Amino acid sequence: MRHLHRAMSAISVGLGLLVSTANTASPAPFVQTNLVSDIPGLATITDSSLVNPWGVSRTATSPFWISDQGTNLTNLWSVIGPTTVTKVTAVNPPTGNIAIPTLGAGPAQGPTGQVSNQNPSPSSFPVGNGGNGGSAHFIFANLNGTISAWDTGPTAFIQVTTPGANYSGLAINQAQTQSRPPARSARSDSFRSTCRTSPAKST
């Protein structure tokens, strides 16, 4: 899927209108508005970086962050009203794109799930391995088995590499509690706020 159709109501919006009569009320068909796509002519805005958009996250005051798996990027989109969207470039002008690191040539790569880290602690998920050590604002899972974190600048930095892993989603425990995920057929890794692997995992 090459355009931002499934990136929730943040970017691709269905507008439902309620049609009322004197005696009955029934919903009208949805009207879909494609707001952003990498395919020219398909949406209001064309952006070539938006290839296979995957994870979406935000804070109460931030734009929406979108994981572009096909281009190893994330970018920010401000949504005002039901169908007005603008790319936010102030974080990394002029493109507004933030690089998500790869591992060079090899199997499938690219950011998938992502989360916003709203833990106020300055030591929550510190961005090391090339970062400045500040607390991560956004954290990204990758098909190449890495976890990357960003707090400022044009790129995120890899914090964890799990050989053989293929991460397709990410969640964060904002309540700072520890629990064991339910058993699944797929592996689920947990990481402490220091980005070290937690013993809570299932296979």
pLDDT tens for the chain, 203 residues long, are 444 443 333 333 332 323 334 455 667 788 888 999 999 999 999 999 999 999 999 999 999 999 999 999 999 999 988 889 999 999 999 999 999 999 876 668 999 999 999 987 888 899 999 999 999 999 999 999 999 999 999 999 999 999 888 999 998 877 665 544 443 445 567 666 555 554 334 33
Q: Is residue 173 part of a domain?
A: no
Q: Is residue 178 part of a domain?
A: no
Q: Is residue 150 part of a domain?
A: yes
User: Which residues in 52-73 are b (16+ Cβ under 10 Å) and which e?
Assistant: bbbbbbbeeebbbbbbbbbbbb
Q: Is residue 169 part of a domain?
A: no
Q: Is residue 89 part of a domain?
A: yes
Residue 108 β-bridge partners: none
Distance CA 30, CA 12 (A): 12
What does pTM read for this prediction? 0.76
Distance CA 196, CA 135 (A): 15
Q: Is residue 191 part of a domain?
A: no
Cβ neighbourhood burial of 140 (10 Å; 0-12, 13-18, 19+): buried
Number of domains making up the chain = 1
Look up the domain containing 79 and give its range. 8-14+29-161
Q: Is residue 99 part of a domain?
A: yes
Cβ neighbourhood burial of 7 (10 Å; 0-12, 13-18, 19+): buried
Report phi then psi at 117, rounded to 5.
-95, 105
Distance CA 147, CA 156 (A): 10
Q: Is residue 93 part of a domain?
A: yes
